[in-house]
């Protein structure tokens, strides 16, 4: 079977120049936790650049940059994890679900959703309790409370809790989860 090479979109113009037009970018569906994670990531990039610049260009390393970079990385991970929960692309083993009867697989997938909700809610509560116990504990180099870092983690766990409830609701409404049908995504409704 021969394919016509000219059947696809034309990117090389008659003038011999490359012509391509990107689709419009729509960021309207981007959740708030994604914007927070992006802001933390870019703040981390700025601090790491500053650390590199002061250490190698000025030969006088700013001591606070390493500690702040560590905390920004922690915040990026915890807040960014909520995006993974919303997309429902956490690590999972779906081989077992192929061989189980559909009703048993459905019960197990619902149990996974419930356990995920309970886990993230428990971690939100435990992080809050830990913040209470930390009290006025300060960062090592910067004179700021450590509860700022734990507050970002608390926000991440709370966002993961809310997103896991949202994911479970979608699974319940459509009658199956990604575990039962691994070829689907959260956008398939």
- pLDDT mean by block of 10 residues, the chain; 189 residues: 59 74 81 91 95 89 89 94 86 79 90 95 96 89 90 95 94 86 70
Phi and psi at residue 138, in whole multiples of 5°? -100, 160
**What integer pLDDT is reported at residue 72 of this predicted model?**
95
Distance, in Å, from the CA atom of 66 to the CA atom of 47, rounded to the nearest integer, reads 8
**What integer pLDDT is reported at residue 14 of this predicted model?**
75
**What integer pLDDT is reported at residue 15 of this predicted model?**
78
**What integer pLDDT is reported at residue 8 of this predicted model?**
60
């Amino acid at each position: 079977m021969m394919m016509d090479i000219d059947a696809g979109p034309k990117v090389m113009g008659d003038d011999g120049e490359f012509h391509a037009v990107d689709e419009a970018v729509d960021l309207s569906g981007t959740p708030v936790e994604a914007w927070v994670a992006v802001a933390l990531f870019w703040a981390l990039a700025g601090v790491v650049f500053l650390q590199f610049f002061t250490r190698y260009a000025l030969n006088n390393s700013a001591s606070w940059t390493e500690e702040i970079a560590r905390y920004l990385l922690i915040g990026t991970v915890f807040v960014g994890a909520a995006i993974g929960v919303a997309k429902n692309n956490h690590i999972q083993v779906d081989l077992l679900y192929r061989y189980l009867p559909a009703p048993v697989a459905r019960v197990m997938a619902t149990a996974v959703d419930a356990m995920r909700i309970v886990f993230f809610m428990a971690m939100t509560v435990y992080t809050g309790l830990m913040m209470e116990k930390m009290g006025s504990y300060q960062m090592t180099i910067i004179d700021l409370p450590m509860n700022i870092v734990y507050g970002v983690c608390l926000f991440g766990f709370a966002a993961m809790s809310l997103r896991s409830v949202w994911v479970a609701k979608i699974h319940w409404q459509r009658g199956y989860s990604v575990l039962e049908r691994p070829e689907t995504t959260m956008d398939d409704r």
